[in-house]
Amino acid sequence: MTPANYSAIRKEVGQNPRAALRDCERLLARNSDDAEAHRLAARALRALGNEERASVEELAAIDASTLDPILIQAGHAMVRNRLEQAEPLLRGRLRENPFDVAAIRMLAEIAGRIARYQDAEQLLRRALELAPAFVAARTNLAMALYRQNKTVEALAELDRLTDEGPGNGVLRAAVVGRLGEFAEAISLYESVLARPGSERQPRIWTSYGHALKTVGRQADAVAAYRRALDLRPAFGEAWWSIANLKTVRLQEADIASIQAGLADPSASAEDRYHLHFALAKALEDAGRPEEGFDHYLTANTLRREQLPYRAERTRRTVDRTIALFDAAFLAKRNGLGCPEPDPVFVLGLPRAGSTLIEQILSSHSMVEGTMELPDILSLVSRLGKEGSYPEVIAGLSPERLRELGETYLERTRIHRREGKALFIDKTPNNWLHAGLIHLILPNARIVDARRHPLDCGYSNFRQHYASGQAFSYDLADIGHYYADYVRLMRHFDSVMPGRIVRVIHEDLLDDPEAATRNLLNALALPFEDACLRFFENDRAVRTASSEQVRRPINRDGAGLWRAVEDRLTPLREALGPTLDDYACR
């Protein structure tokens, strides 16, 4: 049938859907693989109120689209990761037919691959508006929501699916795990792994290991990671996951296996930087820190190629934040925002002792530990769409400041399970938004976790993060980032004296009880002995320090920079006077 005939039926759908349906049925009698006829039949049926038959026709249109030459060509390009070839093909198809849900879903997949998850979400919602029974699109929507930390919405989409296939089970496990339901997540992983074929998927075993590690089942986690390695010996993420347990030491046989993985031509770029991180940690533990440093350097170089970072952007944001948040600006807004005192923000650089502080505080009867919550960063992203951030804050009304604080509390409510008065948000990157936090939640507590610049800096260089810490893959970038952080905190100390409670990591190591008492006193919390026995707290811990905080305070990770001090010149130079100032504190 010609495009003109299809156009006539499209007009007929709105004017006489019953006649349009008859025309579509005649077309399908001649060619049951006519995707456009199925699509138009679905629209006619929906106009007639026959939702069930409309869904059947929509799915038939999707199936028929697999025979479409344009979509086949786009699909082949996507398999080869030639997204620049696939995208114009799909956009051209959608200009011709904006109702082609298969093309919409494929375009959403391209958006997801380049981390444009909001675009993917919008496309997938459009696809589901046109074809509500399109299971693959709903699964993709759940993933796009999960990637944006819209975890509750992702779970709602998964709940609408009747397909309980392994892929959906793995995604559901990840979603409920992010919501703190680790027992359910572990059970879901075990159910998936019990299915034929799934037990041979190394990524599922690795995800299962992550969940086990979080609840403190270290031996079971290692067994899961090693099962993944049995299936794929060069699987870098599994090797790094074992090395990253901190309390586990890889042996000489493991070192040989990692080196063999690096020699494997089939190892991906992602495998390689994970393998270099794991090998560096293994060599360091074996008393070979110089060799370890070489592999840390290679790992970070490889990772930085994929995740570029521009230190000047952070510097400019800090400059603009300092310029905005002067004493007069704060005085004018004093007492605004949401007055609830519930949150305790623990912020600063990663690897500065924030997990230890969280573990100490969450051992208190009035405080609940949660996780690194994404909600302040989500609010910042939202504000950034309304104007230039942070300057947009100046135009927020008293009502809007209060609404933002209330929104934060509402979004984080799902993570509060214990009914305690206070809860912890330990997202380290919130340091950049401490001023916003003060305005929208003026009675929230803010704790700045700080550690020696070289100890903290080198610890970040030794750590691979799943996401969110692009500054950490270059020594100079780390130094500039640390210096900018200190500069902003110093400014807030001057314009909001006493507002931010600072905990020096070395003070906790030197005298845990005195430092703990000082912290609790500064937060207006009564002292409790349980805070000194934080290592008895069996709560789930999701960060790189998860195993370390299940032991009494020790100095195992302190001073490691000294063994490679002569290699840290870029870090020292970038820190500048910040390093000397710390020594004189």
Q: What is the pLDDT of residues 123-166, one digit of tens each?
A: 999 999 988 888 889 999 999 999 998 999 999 999 998 766 66
Q: In whole angstroms, give the CA distance from residue 11 to residue 102.
A: 22
Strands (E), 194-267: none
Q: Which CATH architecture has domain 3-65?
A: Alpha Horseshoe (1.25)
Stretch 395-399: mean pLDDT, rounded? 98
Span 346-355, mean pLDDT?
96
Cβ atoms of 560 and 458 closer than 8 Å: yes
DSSP assigned state of 143? H
- List where CATH 1.25.40 sits in the chain: 3-65
Single-letter amino acid, residue 89: L
The average pLDDT across 259-288 equals 95
> What DSSP element (H or E) covers 425?
strand 422-425
| Helical (H) or strand (E) element with 208 | helix 202-214
Q: Would you say residue 80 has pLDDT above 90?
A: no
DSSP 532: T
More confident residue, 471 or 555: 471
Nearest one of 314, 294, 310, 311 to 302, comparing CA atoms: 294
Q: Nearest 5°: phi and psi at 252?
A: -60, -40
User: What share of the chain in percent tops pLDDT 70?
Assistant: 96
d(CA 122, CA 112): 11
Q: What is the pLDDT of residue 167?
A: 73
Residues 6+ apart with CB under 8 A from 283: 255, 289, 291, 292, 295
Q: What are phi and psi of 423, to 5 degrees?
A: -140, 155
Give the tokens for residue 17.
């859907």
CA dihedral 9, 15, 16, 21 (to 10 degrees): 30
**Cα–Cα distances in Å, from 457 out to 211, 266, 560?**
28, 33, 11
pLDDT score, position 575? 97
Q: What does the pLDDT average to over 331-354?
A: 97
Indicate the DSSP class of residue 449.
Answer: E
Does residue 270 surpass a pLDDT of 60?
Answer: yes
- In this prediction, residues 274-290 reach a mean pLDDT of 96
Does residue 584 register a pLDDT over 60?
no
Q: How far apart are CA 166 and CA 191, in angstroms?
A: 9
> Residue with structure tokens 């003070």?
507
**Residue 190 and residue 173: Cα distance in Å, rounded?**
10
The predicted pLDDT at position 36 comes to 86
pLDDT of residue 550: 59
Nearest to 464 by CA among 213, 233, 230, 279: 279
Euclidean distance between CA atoms 266 and 584, whole angstroms? 51
Which candidate, 133, 130, 153, 152, places its Cα nearest to that of 141?
A: 153
Rounded to whole angstroms, the Cα distance separating 66 from 557 reads 55
Which CATH fold topology does 311-583 show?
Rossmann fold (3.40.50)
* pLDDT per residue as tens digits for the range 558-583: 889 999 999 999 999 999 999 988 86
Q: Whats the size of the chain, residue-wise?
A: 585
| Tokens encoding 347 | 């912020």
The pLDDT, as a whole number, for residue 92 is 95
Whether the pLDDT of residue 312 is over 70: the answer is: yes
Cα–Cα distance, 475 to 463 (Å, whole number): 12
Statement: residue 98 has pLDDT above 80: yes
Instruction: Note the pLDDT tens digit of each residue in 231-240.
Output: 999 999 999 9
Residue-level pLDDT at 583: 62
Q: Which of 108, 79, 113, 80 is nearest to 94 (CA)?
A: 108
Q: Running DSSP on this structure, what letter comes out for residue 502?
A: E
Q: What three-state secondary structure class fits 467?
A: coil
- CATH 3.40.50.300 maps onto the chain at 311-583
pLDDT in tens, 531-563: 999 988 776 665 555 555 556 777 777 889 999
Report the pLDDT value the prediction gives residue 468, as an integer from 0 to 100.
79
Strand 500-504 to 343-348 pairing = unpaired
What pLDDT does 90 receive? 95
Q: What is the pLDDT of residues 487-544, one digit of tens each?
A: 999 999 999 999 999 999 999 999 999 999 999 999 999 999 999 999 887 766 655 5
- The 422-425 sheet, strands edge to edge: 367-371, 422-425, 343-348, 445-450, 500-504
Q: Which residue has the higher pLDDT, 1 or 81?
A: 81
What's the CA gap between 293 and 281, in Å, rounded?
9
Which pLDDT value is given to residue 55? 83
What confidence category does residue 54 fall into, taking pLDDT thresholds of 50, 70 and 90?
confident
